[in-house]
Amino acid sequence: MTLYILRHGQTELNRLNIVQGSGIDTELNEMGYTQAKAFYEAHQHIDFELVVTSKLRRTHQTVQSFLDKNIPWEQSSDINEISWGIHEGQYQSPEQDERYHRMIQAWKSGDLDASIEAGESAKQLLERIERFIAWVKTRSERRILVATHGRAIRCLITCLKGLPPTAMEEMAHSNTGLYVVHLQPDGIWEFELENDTSHLKYDV
């Protein structure tokens, strides 16, 4: 099995530095559609047997060209973006930035129950990402395109690498950045590409 793990294209809230999370169901902006088109043009030759997205529109829109080919499609809330609680829909103010970094430091120190007020903790995110991986392993398809979100990707890649969740911050993600991962017979995931944006014609 090979997973092609893709972050969604840019949204206007991405551009404006406004927090989205799982509670803000935004759409791609013009740049996001351009990124999605570039990704499709570079990877349309791959015979994907399944497309899996989160429940949020920005992932659907990013892979719409593949869905138009009538590839089977599953939606999973397990790969929705993390809930950022009271930060969602807000500009990243200095106060928010300080609160966010306190939480990240808590995660790094092993306090996975820390969260933004009314938001998800790293532990809650990890539980659903692990559930998603277990579900993927039950699938018979050999080539699966997975469209998800930045923090979800950080957690997902950490799990696939067999690293503790305290390592999440080390995992990079960009709009339409691609990870290609092969499941080996011994159950180990082998990485071929990490946050690849070679399909884009500009710096991200």
Domain boundaries along the sequence of the chain: 2-196
Q: How many residues make up the chain in this entry?
A: 204
At 56-86, the pLDDT tens digits run 999 999 999 999 999 999 999 999 999 999 9
CATH 3.40.50.1240 matches 2-196: yes
Q: How confident is the model at residue 204 (pLDDT cuts 50, 70, 90)?
A: very low
pLDDT in tens, 153-200: 999 999 999 999 999 999 999 999 999 999 999 999 999 999 999 999
Q: Give φ, ψ of 172 to 5 degrees.
A: -85, 155
**pLDDT of amino acid 102:** 96
First vs last C-alpha separation in the chain: 29
Answer yes or no: is pLDDT of 203 > 80. no
Handedness of CA 99, 10, 35, 60 (dihedral sign): positive
pTM for the model: 0.96
Write out the two tokens for 203. Answer: 């710096």
Q: How confident is the model at residue 202 (pLDDT cuts 50, 70, 90)?
A: low
- Look at residue 201 in the predicted model and tell me its pLDDT: 80
With a pLDDT cut of 70, the percent of the chain lying above it is: 99
